Structure 1
């Protein structure tokens, strides 16, 4: 150890180089043309050999200087500047950098040293915390709406019992049941999103699963004025699935379709069709189609994002996110077709 210390002590340049290479940041020195003159080891490892190349070419794969370049500003006013930017590593992975540009006076051949710190994890944590706050607000608002509906149904039941008006009791009880189903679905989606468990794969009949879920949600559909029916191929072979999660997937898709119909004020008659059919010789498909409000292209790109709700503050934004997770767990594929104001179709394709 003493020998190593003596070697380093006798070579200050090696000591400085070692310290620079051990720093947990990217360091580069650039001239006034933004040409890289020097990089430390961290920079070399993540961005490759950069000496002699333009900074924006190395970090952005671009022939043009960045709009708000801290290095260029430092050359202009001989002051320290900083900023944030998104760049690409040598493998093409995007990372977020906090950049400091510090001028190095050296006669005519001035240069600027750039220190860059990877803040991607911090940015991701900020996004996750913001998403968590939004999700809590969405879920709380959704549950509040359902509880208000539950209290409304309870009031109707109480009035019916007081007046011995049994049709009124039945009407109120249907409202109570529908809200209990919705609250249960929210709770299950939250649990599924927060805690993953191993799938229990077994042989099941896809058509029978569709018919059971349709039967379970039929009363809710009737109360919303929507015709819900199942279309299944009775000769569809058994498939290897996790019954619990596929049932959840179908419930979420059908519930989403029912809500799309309920929000449509342009048509008098609405329908939702749930299907289990052959796709080709090796694959089969579940489909849920509705003639509700439909979606535009921008919304179709966002619907599977966690906590994105097509219903604004009245939804939790978990349903379709859970659907996507379940499909991925079964190594399946999702296709979405939609015409704004007319219809939507979700197609889930699985291999036998």
Structure 2
């Protein structure tokens, strides 16, 4: 009876079931697995599940062989039809008569539809936020156009009056506002769309150093001390490097602005990028001692394209950073006191599966 029940469950289960040996070779599969992936025993699990010749960095099967404990994870793979599939996988030890782990049974459940629905909801939420903020964006564009008109007027009068300095100042205004238009359009498109991610192992310490090198000149010219504070061994996490670089750059840009526009001229302004390892991953902090944010404005900061910069900002930078953190399974948060400064934090888990930006 028990044997017949086990056979019936194995053959008719909608879950994908594979039995794997210590060499990562698949030795037995059920029909559901063969319909989704392939009927190819004595092939490695990473080849069948992910069409990859290299073993997974954080392998559930290896963990179970090592400690004899069941492990659960969210994964992304490739079907036999070369389509992306999201699934929850559980690795269960199969013991021999002596109690040693002889094989690992990997049971996976297809969650592709759930993931797609979640991504669709996230996309709808982003578009709704953009729609709710249309009036604010229109006001920003109006301000930019007014600035362009002012710059053009200075260029025209500089030419008419043969005043090179006035002409140069006007042309600089035109260039600055054209750059604002370009930045606004790029950020708006990036926020509204779902783009393909390119996750790779990233040394967060090196990423912080890159940002410091990028902003060192701008900070120095403004009299701001820009530095990093990292542990002796900084974490390596699986990230979309370009997206996280842009997110960190947004935070540092805001910090530089907060220090530059601080009316307290007696401060020795500083910005510190900290990388803090955590049991569940890592925390990236960008702390400044600039203007700070009022309690009233804090409630609006990460909800829509609200900005504390007036006509100098669009508010999209923080929404993009929030989106990037969420796409890596993390979160963006902050603490601030008006007149004292602000600290933004990006918390990232060590295994952010299915990164989507």
TM-score, normalisation: structure 2: 0.51
CA deviation string 1:55-76 (max 9, x = no partner): xxxxxxxxxxxxxxxxxxxxxx
Equivalent-residue separation in structure 1 for 2:190 and 2:184 (angstroms) = 10
Question: How many equivalent pairs are there?
Answer: 215
Deviation at residue 299 of structure 1 after TM alignment = 1.5
- d(CA) in 1 for partners of 2:194, 2:217: 31
2:252 corresponds in structure 1 to 254
Deviation of 1:244 after TM superposition, in Å, equals 1.1
Taking the aligned partners of 1:243 and 1:325, their CA distance within structure 2 comes to: 14
C-alpha deviation, 1:212, in angstroms: 0.6
Could you tell me which residue of structure 2 aligns to residue 270 of structure 1? 269
The DSSP-based 3-state class of the residue aligned with 1:309 is coil
After TM superposition, the structure 1 = structure 2 runs for residues 56-75 of structure 1, keeping only pairs within 5 Å, are: none
Cα gap change, 1:311 to 1:194, in 2 (>3 Å):
same
Per-residue CA deviations over 1:193-216 (Å, capped at 9, x if unaligned) read: 132202211111111111111211
Matches within 5 A, 1:39-188: 131-142=133-144, 185-188=183-186
Q: CA offset at residue 191 of structure 1? A: 2.3
- Return closer, same or farther for 1:208/1:184 CA change in 2, 3 Å cut-off: farther
> Which residue does the alignment assign to 1:281?
279
- 1:190-209 to 2 correspondences below 5 Å: 190-209=188-207
Measured after TM superposition, the shift of residue 223 of structure 1 is: 2.7
**1:346 aligned counterpart, secondary structure:** strand
2:238 alignment partner, one of 229, 240, 246: 240
State the partner residue of 1:50: none
Distance 1:183 1:128, change over 3 A: closer
| Alpha-carbon separation, structure 2, partners of 1:179 and 1:221 | 21
C-alpha separation in 1, matches of 2:260 and 2:241: 28
Higher deviation after alignment, 248-257 or 213-222: 213-222
Unaligned runs of 5+ in 1: 1-124, 153-161, 164-168
Change (3 A) 1:284 1:179: farther
Residue of structure 1 equivalent to 2:226: 228
Tell me if structure 1 keeps the 8 A contact 2:252–2:286.
yes
| Residue 329 (structure 1) aligned to one of 327, 343, 355 | 327
C-alpha change, 1:327 and 1:144, in structure 2 (3 Å) is farther
Name the CA distance, whole Å, in 2 between partners of 1:322 and 1:184. 16
Is the contact made by 1:178 and 1:220 (CA closer than 8 Å) also made in structure 2?
no
Local SS of the residue matching 1:302 = coil
Distance 1:270 1:128 in 2: 34
| Structure 1 residue 180: Cα displacement | 8.5
1:271: Cα distance to partner? 1.1
* Structure whose CA Rg is larger: 1
Give me the whole-angstrom Cα distance separating, in 2, the residues matched to 1:270 and 1:175: 27
Partner SS for 2:299: helix
Aligned to 1:72: none
- Given that 1:142 and 1:316 are in contact with CA atoms closer than 8 Å, whether structure 2 keeps it comes out as no
Q: Secondary structure at the match of 2:329?
A: coil
Q: CA deviation at 1:183?
A: 6.2
SS at match of 2:133: helix
Provide the TM-score with structure 1 as the length reference.
0.52
- Distance, in Å, in 1 between the alignment partners of 2:152 and 2:272 is 27
